[in-house]
Amino acid sequence: MQEQRAGGAEVVPLGAELVALGARAGLLRRPDAATRLLVLAPGAGAGMRHPFLEGVAAALARRRVATLRFEFPYQAAGARRPDPQPVLVDAVCEAVGAAQRLAAGLPLLAGGKSMGGRMASLAAAAGRLASARGLVFLGFPLHPAGKPATARAAHLERVAQTMLFLQGSRDALAALALLRPICEKLGERARLHVIEDANHGFHVPKRTGRSDADVIEELAAEIVGFPA
């Protein structure tokens, strides 16, 4: 991945710009003639510069969708233990508020990878993301690996926006036998797209003949086609 230096210090992915999000920084990637902006929260174990998120942002930019990536406070501080849930939810709300200012006039989507997407859903369920037209989940973490359950989805019935669930068929954190009925119960507010053979990180086995880049292109195409 190509990178450029900002101010001689901060490393910024090529095509993005560093923006202030309160006390933290974010990465804004806005292509010419952008049609909408997705606020993209990271997963628990990787920050906003993770290659997967960079790949998604680049693929969306080629399709004229802008992205705003950010990090949760613990990630920005270099810690490994996630912040308490209220702090995580506040961070999502702060990023969406900043997106309104940075991309005035563009329709907004909110979501993210794994935990980041779930925090966006909690914020929406509390009525705090009214400016977002829809939510995008890149691997919604329905339950811990090896412990199938649905409690983490209980709040989704309170989300007013339409929701796009992008899930791998081998995702150990979201058994499709549990997730499909949840999406069906949500009715027209939920759209589920399954990436065959992909795991929670959206990696696919070599035997499939597909690459991680192929999967990212499929994800981006689904986001672009999401009628939020």
**Would the CA dihedral through 162, 168, 169, 173 be positive or negative?**
negative
Of 21, 23, 22, 26, which Cα lies nearest the Cα of 6?
26
> What is the pLDDT tens value at each position of the chain, 228 positions in all?
344 444 444 567 767 898 988 888 999 999 999 999 999 999 998 899 999 999 999 999 999 999 999 999 999 999 999 999 999 999 999 999 999 999 878 999 999 999 999 999 999 999 999 999 999 999 999 999 999 999 999 999 999 999 999 999 999 999 999 999 999 999 999 999 999 999 999 999 999 999 999 999 999 999 999 987
Domain count, the chain: 1
Assign residue 48 the CATH number of its domain: 3.40.50.1820
Instruction: Specify the pairing of strand 65-70 against strand 108-113.
Output: unpaired
Which domain covers residue 183, as residue numbers?
3-224
Maximum separation of any 2 CA atoms in the chain, in Å: 52
Residue 194 parent element (H or E): strand 190-195
pTM for the predicted model, two decimal places: 0.93
**Distance between alpha carbon 63 and the CA centroid of its chain, in Å?**
17
